[in-house]
Amino acid sequence: MIKINDYIPIVGESIIEDLRLLAQKLKGISVKHINSTSAGGGVAEILNRMTPLLKDLEVDVYWDVIRGDERFFEVTKKFHNALHGRPEKIEQADFDVFMENSRKNINEIDTGTNIVFVHDPQPIALINKKTDNKWIWRCHIDVSNPHGGVWKFLNDFIVRYDSIVFSAPIFSQPLPIKQFLISPSIDPLSDKNKELPQETIDSVLKKYNITPDKPIITQISRFDRLKDPLGVIEAYLEVRKYIDCQLILAGGTAADDPEGIQVLEEVKEKAQQDPDIHILLLPQNDIEVNALQRASTVIVQKSIREGFGLTVTEALWKAKPVVASHVGGIPFQIKHKYSGLLCHSVAGAAFALKQLLNSPEYAKKLGENGKEHIRNNFLITRHIRDYMLLFLSLYHTEDVVYF
């Protein structure tokens, strides 16, 4: 089990000492995180790593997961797409399914802790159990241009929370409650981000019949239309006209995302059995994800909408040059032409990829700059500090909105 002191060589002893001092101020305060899945997606990944570290700091923290039937997760996926601005037909029956499942969770989930920390729309209706304790709603998704009907429905719950947390300022909405900006993070000591021996990297490439004899372009994401895997293939095909290279599209599907398999089939059809396009459905294997990222020449994240983009953080931590869309929380991580390249289209992504593949020294420098930016801003130790400060802020009554 990783302990908080294990991070001292990475972030310094003073950072860890600050965390211990904050944790002492939380004595007697219990916290429960609640989300919709224990595996798959960035929220579960963060909570899996953060919860034991908070316990090591002697914070009284718990984590629970709601349940839902197939209809519920189909509806919440529609909500997810609509909140990201995608056209979705939302009917009253969808809201009814959402509330039917929510009532079951309201009856089953224990929310008796001092602070209840609810993540994303799926468990939002649990606020109906609020008593005299403190409640936080954490919005991990891009709601800069949400579907009006869905946002209005959620807003009736949101305004009853004590605070809301967004990942980027552009997601902020007019609300009568305190708003906080807290970016997500990665754990540098997790299987997905720790250093790997070259033989491990080589064995993963061999397993998937990938030869490192020509440049590797990689996107690692859930198979989700908002990650635009079809656009990645189009960009790769344009690059390949000029540079002999190969493409890896790798990822999994989250338990609360019923569209994943359908999108995977669309990607396979688009690839048309091209031997240089490797489509990998990874079974929650973080070592393999790590190895594929480290084996890559350039990593791409061509999202159409993105709350933050932890795969960008992961790639930058490995000092890899990254081409990513200028959307959501990604520009927080990439300063264009300093720590990566930002794009706005398939053509822009192809241009940036060609530039990096043709200029390896420039690509290396971008990767080095990116790693230091992540070290200073997006590691789990900073995230833990921000959350503990958030918990403490709930017990101060100043009428201030935080950004």
Q: Is residue 190 part of a domain?
A: no
C-beta of residue 68 within 8 angstroms of C-beta of residue 99? no
- pLDDT tier, 1 (very low <50, low <70, confident <90, very high otherwise): confident
Residue 117 and residue 72 share a domain: yes
**pLDDT score recorded for residue 255:** 62
Distance CA 298, CA 294 (A): 10
Co-location of 171 and 289 in the same domain: no
371: left (phi over 0), alpha (psi -120 to 50) or beta: alpha
Per residue, the 3-state secondary structure of the chain, as one string, reads CCCHHHHHHHHCHHHHHHHHHHHHHCCCCEEEEEECCCCCCHHHHHHHHHHHHHHHCCCEEEEEECCCCHHHHHHHHHHHHHHCCCCCCCCHHHHHHHHHHHHHHHHHCCCCCCEEEEECCCCHHHHHHCCCCEEEEECCCCCCCCCHHHHHHHHHHHCCCCEEEECCHHHCCCCCCEEEECCCCECCCCCCCCCCCHHHHHHHHHHCCCCCCCCEEEEECCCCHHHCHHHHHHHHHHHHCCCCCEEEEEECCCCCCCCHHHHHHHHHHHHCCCCCEEEEECCCCHHHHHHHHHHCCEEEECCCCCCCCHHHHHHHHCCCCEEEECCCCHHHHCCECCCEEEECCHHHHHHHHHHHHHCHHHHHHHHHHHHHHHHHHCEHHHHHHHHHHHHHHCCCCCCCCCC
Pair (362, 220) in one structural domain? yes
Which pLDDT score is estimated for 148?
A: 85
Q: What per-residue confidence (pLDDT) applies to 282?
A: 86
Give domain status of residue 352, yes or no.
yes
pLDDT(301) > 80: yes
| Statement to judge: residues 220 and 174 lie in one domain | no
pLDDT at 36 > cutoff 60: yes
What's residue 87's pLDDT?
Answer: 86
320/352 same-domain check: yes
Per the domain annotation, does 168 fall within a domain? yes
Helices 360-377, 346-358: axis angle to 10 degrees equals 110
pLDDT confidence band for 401 (50 / 70 / 90):
very low
Average pLDDT over residues 224-231: 95
User: Do 237 and 158 lie in a common domain?
Assistant: no
- For 81-125, write each residue's pLDDT tens digit: 999 888 889 999 999 999 999 999 999 999 999 999 999 999 999
What are the beta bridge partners of residue 298? 217
Which pLDDT value is given to residue 256? 63
Q: Are 97 and 65 a contacting pair, CB within 8 Å?
A: no
For residues 175 and 107, membership in a common domain is answered with yes
CA count, 13 A, side-chain hemisphere, 395: 11
- Is there a single domain that holds both residue 234 and residue 138? no
Q: How many structural domains does the chain have?
A: 2
pLDDT at residue 399 above 70? no
Residue 279 has pLDDT above 70, yes or no: yes
Q: Tell me what the mean pLDDT of segment 117-135 comes to.
A: 97
In angstroms, the CA 3 to CA 5 distance is: 5
How many CA atoms are closer than 13 Å to the CA of 91, on its beta-carbon side? 3
Decide if 277 contacts 271 (C-beta within 8 A). yes
Residue in the structure block whose two tokens are 């990689």: 218
Q: What is the mean pLDDT of residues 60-65?
A: 98
Distances (CA, A) of 372 to 163, 172, 245, 315, 319: 31, 28, 28, 12, 9
Looking at the structure, do residues 50 and 164 belong to the same domain, yes or no?
Answer: yes
CATH number at residue 119: 3.40.50.2000
pLDDT above 70: residue 402: no
Residue 252 has pLDDT above 90, yes or no: no
Does residue 265 contact residue 379 with C-beta atoms inside 8 Å? no
At how many degrees (to 10) do helices 70-83 and 148-158 cross?
Answer: 110
Q: What is the arithmetic mean of pLDDT over 123-129?
A: 98
pLDDT confidence tier of residue 221, bands split at 50, 70 and 90: very high
Q: Residue 304: which of 367, 346, 245, 243 has the closest Cα?
A: 346
Q: What was the pLDDT predicted at 283?
A: 76
* Residue-level pLDDT at 242: 97
Q: Are residues 225 and 301 in the same domain?
A: yes
The answer as to whether 401 is a domain residue is no
On whether residue 26 sits in a domain, the answer given is: yes
| CB < 8 Å & 24+ apart, contacts of 11-17 | 11/375, 11/379, 11/381, 15/381, 15/385, 16/381
> Quick one: 165 and 208 in the same domain?
no
What pTM, to 2 d.p., does this model score?
0.91
Q: In this structure, are residues 80 and 121 in contact, taking their beta carbons and an 8 Å threshold?
A: yes
Quickly state the pLDDT bin for 17 (edges 50, 70, 90): very high
- Tell me if 191 is assigned to some domain: no
pLDDT, tens digit, 9 for 90 and up, residues 316-364: 999 999 999 999 999 999 999 999 999 999 999 999 999 999 999 999 9
**Does residue 211 fall inside a structural domain?**
yes
Q: Are residues 302 and 174 in the same domain?
A: no
pLDDT at residue 403 is higher than 90: no
pLDDT above 70 coverage of the chain, percent: 97
User: How high does pLDDT run on average in the chain?
Assistant: 94
pLDDT of the residue at 400: 45
Non-local CB neighbours of 345 within 8 Å, separated by 6+ positions: none
Kindly state whether residue 343 falls inside one of the protein's structural domains.
Answer: yes
Q: How many CB atoms lie within 10 A of CB 159?
A: 13
Q: Which of 106, 149, 151, 152 is nearest to 125 (CA)?
A: 106
Tell me the residue range of the domain where 363 lies.
198-377
